[in-house]
Structure 1
Amino acid sequence: MKGAFSVTEKKIAIAIDGPAAAGKSTVAKKVAEKLHYVYIDTGAMYRSLTYKVLQDNIDMKDENAVLNLLKKTNILLDQHFDVYVNNEKITAEIRTSDVTDHVSLIASYPSVREEMVTRQQKLATDRGVVMDGRDIGTRVLPDAEVKVFLIASVEERAKRRHEENVTKHLPSNFEQIKLDIEKRDRMDTERTASPLKKADDAIEIDTTSLSIEDVVNKILSLVQEVE
């Protein structure tokens, strides 16, 4: 494989989709670093809003209330992969189990997704971005030059999430994580607004038996093929 793009070469958009714990964020960060691109974690944007809903005691079953909160909330993702809401750094806080348990509901609201998609598309206007999520190739960046859909078995995804929690010294129960991932998959694929779905022109990569570097190199190879 040829070396990664230099910063002077043509900038493109790379969309990486897939279910929870398929390795999207880790892979996307590394691809962005190799290409000197901007990494946009759309999942962190929904988590940030969920965190704010919980902090402000907003009725999360009230779509309008959640949307109104979003419109008053500034979400910033910086080049160091830190996340800020209204200038408050919440990188770690959005990864708590409380946020994880409620983010699918918040992300299911059509009006909320519409607002988020508008923000995400603006971030990608100048290209040179790697964006990961669940509807990037189908809804946010349907014209992305490279689209990838990462998959992995539920068992493997639960194992990864469990090991990540252990490494971070967070409480973790492997069997519960499996159940949570299966529930998240159902919610993401069955929601009405922008469900988790592989774009027709996306390349599917099963990461179950691949290392992070293997997946990154596969995506970089796809990037090199773009004319």
Structure 2
Amino acid sequence: MSLFNAHSNESNPIIPVVTIDGPSGVGKGTLAQYLTCKTGFHLLDSGAIYRALAYGAVQNSLDGTNLPGLVNLALNLPVEFMSTSILYNGVDVTASVRTEEVAAVASTLAAIPEVRSALLARQKAFAQAPGLIADGRDMGTVVFPDAPVKLYLTASAEIRAQRRVNQLKNQGLNANIRKITQDIQERDERDSNRVAAPLKPAQDAVVLDTTHLSIEDVCQQAMSLLWQKGLIK
């Protein structure tokens, strides 16, 4: 498939954005990587930005009560994305920021309006030609509300927990599915009820329940939607 050259004129290009929102464990990251490869668009993993912020907060002994420190860190976050790696101050921290502990801190920090505001401009700056695949929790509702294609992925907490257990086992790690299920449910509750950018589908988002879908099915449905919207041909 090839891309349409979507723009209004040379001085005012329209950057096509595809947003993929939803809670953890629904397949957002896999779908985002797939669409990035198929379209040649840039990739924004907003969750990785918040995880990098959480990692930096832990490294700098900043907790939720130190609002000035957190906002300053967010404004000057030394994070870079190189292919599938996440660099913090030039050091590869990809494995470190993917832990459940860092994810829990990231979810807590993401509920702070001032922190979200400080990271908003950085996320918007990822929208560059030829286009952007934006993976997160508020990509379609807050960061890119005018995106022509918005997807919202969901799945049961039990299925998502089992997927996480399988992922950890493949890494040679032990996992307690009961605790992981509880952590997922608590994170969903926190993300859905926060005042700043709560986790929810955009009004014009296409909702895909991946509980009983293979990743191949999800990718095929997403590609069909991009074709329908004229982003690929």
Would you call these one fold, judging by a TM-score over 0.5? yes
The equivalent position to 1:19 in structure 2, one of 14, 19, 23, is 23
Match of 2:193 in 1: 190
Deviations 1:18-49 (A, max 9, x none): 11211111111111111111111000000001
For structure 2, the residue ranges without an aligned partner over 5 or more in a row are 7-14
Q: What's the offset of the Cα at 1:165? A: 0.9
Contact 1:13 1:127 in 2 (8 A): no
The equivalent position to 1:42 in structure 2, one of 42, 46, 51, is 46
* Aligned partner letter, 2:173: L
CA pair 203-48 structure 1, distance change in 2 beyond 3 A: same
Match of 1:60 in 2: 64
In structure 2, distance between residues paired with 1:109 and 1:95? 21
Range with greater deviation from structure 2 (192-201 or 29-38): 29-38
Contact 1:151 1:204 in 2 (8 A): yes
In structure 1, distance between residues paired with 2:30 and 2:42? 14
Deviations 1:37-68 (A, max 9, x none): 11110000000010011111113332222111
Match of 1:134 in 2: 137
Contact 2:32 2:135 in 1 (8 A): yes
Deviations 1:107-128 (A, max 9, x none): 1111111121211111114351
Deviations 1:171-203 (A, max 9, x none): 311110100000000000010111101100000
Match of 2:220 in 1: 217
Deviations 1:87-113 (A, max 9, x none): 221111101232022111111111111
Considering only aligned residues, what root-mean-square deviation do their CA atoms show, in Å?
Answer: 1.4
Deviations 1:112-154 (A, max 9, x none): 1112121111111435111111000000000111000001011
Q: Give the match's secondary structure for 2:134.
A: strand
* Aligned partner letter, 1:56: N
In structure 1, distance between residues paired with 2:114 and 2:174? 34
Match of 1:91 in 2: 94
Range with greater deviation from structure 2 (90-99 or 140-149): 90-99
For structure 1, the residue ranges without an aligned partner over 5 or more in a row are none
Contact 1:24 1:132 in 2 (8 A): yes
Q: Post-superposition, which runs of at least 4 consecutive aligned residues in structure 1 deviate over 6 A?
A: none
In structure 2, distance between residues paired with 1:126 and 1:140? 17
Say whether 1:73 aligns with 2:73. Answer: no
Say whether 1:173 aligns with 2:176. Answer: yes
In structure 2, distance between residues paired with 1:59 and 1:198? 29
In structure 2, distance between residues paired with 1:112 and 1:198? 22
Q: Give the match's secondary structure for 2:133.
A: strand
Range with greater deviation from structure 2 (123-132 or 179-188): 123-132
* Aligned partner letter, 2:125: K
In structure 1, distance between residues paired with 2:118 and 2:21? 19
In structure 2, distance between residues paired with 1:160 and 1:61? 34
Say whether 1:117 aligns with 2:120. Answer: yes
In structure 2, distance between residues paired with 1:46 and 1:183? 18
Contact 2:154 2:210 in 1 (8 A): yes
